[in-house]
């Protein structure tokens, strides 16, 4: 899988310096870095639909 | 959608692809993030909101187009407030099917790329009435050139953070409105004008097909004028200006069908306020908003002209259309069936009019002689008006069928697909997806979906009543 990745949003806009994933007020930043959750049952992942 | 991103069918069958589009692995050289934004919810400033259930994975540039890939339901973020950041199969099917249906109707929208089960169970209280139950968890990947919302700008304006506001506006113009030129005061005004026009055009499209968004808060308004955030949306069955599917909005019906154009304008006022610190002049922003009013008036009449097959413009069209909208609400009348069947009307036979459209009535016994007479009168006026047109009946039919869909995602259809999916049968999701790829085509083999809402669905949860629970 080859994608022509660009990261303009995170490269050109100010980031939240806090990296913890706790609920908070975020000031002077357009986004916070987060990591998607790994589900318990990884083997269960199945596609139902793809466009 | 795969092709738009520069991917092949083969790519989509890889484990890599599955893992990335479910949030299970993070691709190299990418750093997922949740966006910070605020918003007005049901008319009130709600402060910081942000992506509470959405995680942006990366952007892709392909064919000189920029796309952001975002997961919905892949876990909590700093903006999840009290929620878990997960999504259930029910709401994921609804988002997947409806965003694709809208695209194929020719209405600007974010797209869906995939729908996956996570294998986890998620606890949800569907009607917020204390009856929580476990539901299947799911992740939808959705795609848009940008997921920036009106609320993305409002949050900085509300905090008097003009520096960050300017950075975001400039970024948005440079990447998504580059034809407007280098950001300046004049360009900010041009930018606002374009957002006004795109938003208006999207809402007129909604009105044309009977789509009710259900929760038009400013954090659910795309800066690109795309339909975004498919939550408690619904489709008009009976044509009814006061209808809303959202149970959370039952009391005031702020987001009812007939009020969507007003709410679009109200939301644009909030955006204008947010952009004001950069423009520092009220007049040009007000002028753009006044233009919305004027253009809505003209645009909605033109849209209705198209729906009833009028190519030319005449003074009397406004009253002909107004009378029709009143008539449609005298007794419950299916919007989709009405307009689709109206295309068969013959301008030399106005007396047959009622025959063509009577299938659209939900309760034929309610159609009294008085109502019948009103319809007959209207068909006479309509026929007289059509005589002023040069196109033939068959040409008019063709034109009408290109703007009046035969197949829309009726509320009960999505619910049937959900009920099956809960039992482990996913065939109907694909059947509806295929059906809605060609909403204007006759598809005689799918005639069973060109039918009024069945009676069992009238008051069923998910069919006529939806909450924001997802």
Q: Are B285 and B279 in contact (CB under 8 A)?
A: yes
Burial of B277 (0-12, 13-18, 19+ CB in 10 A): middle
Mean pLDDT, chain B, rounded, equals 96
Query: Bridge partners of B109?
Result: B227
Q: Give the active site residue among B219, B334, B348, B377.
A: B219
Q: CB pairs below 8 Å between A and B: how many?
A: 186
State whether A34 and B58 contact (CB < 8 Å): no
Q: Are B138 and B160 in contact (CB under 8 A)?
A: no
Which residues of chain B are within 8 Å of residue A14 when distances are taken between CB atoms?
164, 167
Alpha carbon distance A2, B265 (integer Å): 42
Using DSSP, state whether B7 is helix, strand or coil: coil
Q: Are B469 and B126 in contact (CB under 8 A)?
A: yes
Question: Rounded to 5 degrees, what are φ and ψ at B140?
Answer: -105, 135
Partner A, chain B 71-90, Cβ-Cβ below 8 Å: 71, 74-81, 85-86
Which residues of chain A are within 8 Å of residue B100 when distances are taken between CB atoms?
51
pLDDT digits (tens, 9 = 90+) for B1-45: 899 999 999 999 998 998 999 999 999 999 999 999 999 999 999
Ramachandran region, residue B233 (left: φ > 0; alpha: ψ -120 to 50; beta: rest) = beta
Using DSSP, state whether B107 is helix, strand or coil: coil
| Other residues' Cβ atoms within 10 Å of the Cβ of residue B66 | 16
Nearest Cα to Cα of residue B155 among A9, A21, A15, A29:
A29
Alpha carbon distance B53, B42 (integer Å): 20
pLDDT band at A42 (very low <50, low <70, confident <90, very high): low
The percentage of chain B sitting over the pLDDT mark of 70, rounded to a whole number, equals: 100
ipTM: 0.94
Alpha carbon distance B406, B435 (integer Å): 10
Residue A46 pLDDT more than 90? no
Alpha carbon distance B189, B306 (integer Å): 31
pLDDT digits (tens, 9 = 90+) for B323-347: 999 999 999 999 999 999 999 999 9
Nearest Cα to Cα of residue B106 among B243, B317, B306, B271:
B306
User: Is the CB of residue B29 less than 8 Å away from at least one CB of chain A?
Assistant: yes
Q: Give the residue on A whose Cα is nearest the Cα of B54.
A: A36
The CA dihedral of B331, B336, B340, B342, to the nearest 10 degrees, is 20
User: Is the CB of residue B46 less than 8 Å away from at least one CB of chain A?
Assistant: no
**What pLDDT, on a 0 to 100 scale, did the predictor assign at position B126?**
80
State whether B115 and A47 contact (CB < 8 Å): yes
Alpha carbon distance B102, B98 (integer Å): 6
Burial of B403 (0-12, 13-18, 19+ CB in 10 A): buried
- Terminal-to-terminal C-alpha distance of chain A: 16
User: Is the CB of residue B99 less than 8 Å away from at least one CB of chain A?
Assistant: no
Structure tokens at B52: 């509470």
**What pLDDT, on a 0 to 100 scale, did the predictor assign at position B461?**
81
Cα of B93 to nearest chain A Cα, Å: 9
Sign of CA dihedral A3, A4, A5, A9: negative
**What pLDDT, on a 0 to 100 scale, did the predictor assign at position B224?**
98
Which residues of chain A are within 8 Å of residue B428 when distances are taken between CB atoms?
none
pLDDT digits (tens, 9 = 90+) for B226-260: 999 999 999 999 999 999 999 889 889 999 999 99
pLDDT digits (tens, 9 = 90+) for B151-162: 999 999 999 999
Burial of B346 (0-12, 13-18, 19+ CB in 10 A): middle
Residue A25 pLDDT more than 60? yes
Distances (CA, A) of B433 to B136, B208, B443: 20, 21, 14
Mean pLDDT confidence for B158-178: 98
B173 alpha-carbon distance from chain centroid:
24
pLDDT digits (tens, 9 = 90+) for B187-226: 999 999 999 999 999 999 999 999 999 999 999 999 999 9
Q: In which element (H, E) is residue B141 found?
A: strand B133-144
pLDDT band at A39 (very low <50, low <70, confident <90, very high): low
Mean pLDDT confidence for B383-408: 98
Structure tokens at B143: 């795609």
B219 catalytically annotated = yes
The CA dihedral of B26, B29, B34, B37, to the nearest 10 degrees, is -160
The greatest distance separating any two alpha carbons of chain B, rounded to the nearest whole angstrom, comes to 70
**What pLDDT, on a 0 to 100 scale, did the predictor assign at position A43?**
57
Structure tokens at B146: 């940008």
Mutate to test the interface with A, among B2, B59, B145 (most CBs of A within 10 A): B59
Query: Bridge partners of A28?
Result: none
Partner A, chain B 184-243, Cβ-Cβ below 8 Å: none
Mean pLDDT confidence for B357-385: 97
Using DSSP, state whether B18 is helix, strand or coil: helix
Using DSSP, state whether B464 is helix, strand or coil: coil
Q: How many CA atoms, within 13 angstroms, populate the side-chain half-sphere of residue B348?
A: 3
Q: What share of chain B is helix, strand, coil (3-state, %, to 5)?
A: 50, 15, 35
Alpha carbon distance B143, A50 (integer Å): 12
pLDDT digits (tens, 9 = 90+) for B79-130: 998 889 999 999 999 999 999 999 999 999 999 999 999 888 888 988 788 8
Nearest Cα to Cα of residue B440 among B408, B409, B410, B405:
B405
Nearest Cα to Cα of residue B231 among B110, B106, B405:
B110
State whether B33 and A21 contact (CB < 8 Å): no
Burial of B62 (0-12, 13-18, 19+ CB in 10 A): middle
**What pLDDT, on a 0 to 100 scale, did the predictor assign at position B361?**
98
Mean pLDDT confidence for B402-408: 98
Structure tokens at B42: 């049901």
State whether A32 and B34 contact (CB < 8 Å): yes
Residue B467 pLDDT more than 90? no
Burial of B339 (0-12, 13-18, 19+ CB in 10 A): buried
Structure tokens at B211: 């789509």
Mean pLDDT confidence for A16-41: 92
Which residues of chain B are within 8 Å of residue A43 when distances are taken between CB atoms?
119
CB nearest to A39's CB, from B48, B55, B120: B120
CB nearest to B23's CB, from A18, A37, A43: A37
């Amino acid at each position: 899988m080859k994608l022509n990745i660009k990261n303009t949003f995170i490269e050109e806009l100010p980031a939240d310096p806090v990296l913890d994933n706790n609920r908070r007020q975020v000031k002077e930043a357009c986004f916070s870095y987060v990591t998607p959750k790994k589900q318990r049952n990884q083997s269960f992942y199945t596609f139902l639909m793809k466009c | 959608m795969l092709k738009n991103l520069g991917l092949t069918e083969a790519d989509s069958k890889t484990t890599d692809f599955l893992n990335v589009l479910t949030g299970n692995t993070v691709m190299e050289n990418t750093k997922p993030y949740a966006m910070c934004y605020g918003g007005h919810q049901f008319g009130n400033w709600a402060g910081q909101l942000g992506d509470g259930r959405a995680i942006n994975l990366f952007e892709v540039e392909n064919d000189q187009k920029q796309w952001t890939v975002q997961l919905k339901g892949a876990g909590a973020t700093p903006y999840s407030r009290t929620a878990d950041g997960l999504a259930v199969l029910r709401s994921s099917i609804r988002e997947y099917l409806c965003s694709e249906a809208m695209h194929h109707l020719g209405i600007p929208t974010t797209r869906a790329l995939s729908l996956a089960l996570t294998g986890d169970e998620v606890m949800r209280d569907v009607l917020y009435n204390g009856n929580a139950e476990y539901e299947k968890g799911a992740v939808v990947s959705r795609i848009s050139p940008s997921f920036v919302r009106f609320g993305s700008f409002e949050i900085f304006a509300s905090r008097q953070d003009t520096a960050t506001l300017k950075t975001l506006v400039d970024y948005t113009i440079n990447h998504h409105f580059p034809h407007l030129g280098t950001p300046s005061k004049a360009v900010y005004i041009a930018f606002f004008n374009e957002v006004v026009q795109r938003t208006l055009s999207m809402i007129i499209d909604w009105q044309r097909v009977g789509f009710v968004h259900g929760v038009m808060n400013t954090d659910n308004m795309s800066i690109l004028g795309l339909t975004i955030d498919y939550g408690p949306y619904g489709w008009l069955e009976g044509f009814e200006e006061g209808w809303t599917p959202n149970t959370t909005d039952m009391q005031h019906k702020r987001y009812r069908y007939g009020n969507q154009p007003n709410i679009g304008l109200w939301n644009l006022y909030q955006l204008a306020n947010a952009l004001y610190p950069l423009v520092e002049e009220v007049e040009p922003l007000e002028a753009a908003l006044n233009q919305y009013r004027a253009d809505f008036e003209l645009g909605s009449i033109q849209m209705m002209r198209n729906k009833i097959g009028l190519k030319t413009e005449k003074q009397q069209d406004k009253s002909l259309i107004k009378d029709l909208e009143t008539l449609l609400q005298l007794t419950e009348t299916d919007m989709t069936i009405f307009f689709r069947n109206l295309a068969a009307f013959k301008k030399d036979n106005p007396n047959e009019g009622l025959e063509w459209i009577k299938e659209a009535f939900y309760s034929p016994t309610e159609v009294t002689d008085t109502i019948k007479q009103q319809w007959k009168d209207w068909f006479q006026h309509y026929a007289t008006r059509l005589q002023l047109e040069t196109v033939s009946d068959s040409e008019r039919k063709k034109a009408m069928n290109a703007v009046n869909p035969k197949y829309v995602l009726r509320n009960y259809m999505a619910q049937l697909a959900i009920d099956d999916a809960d039992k482990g049968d996913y065939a109907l999701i694909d059947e509806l997806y295929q059906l809605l790829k060609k909403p204007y085509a006759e598809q005689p083999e799918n005639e069973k979906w060109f039918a009024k809402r069945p009676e069992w669905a009238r008051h069923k949860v998910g069919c006529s009543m939806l909450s924001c629970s997802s």
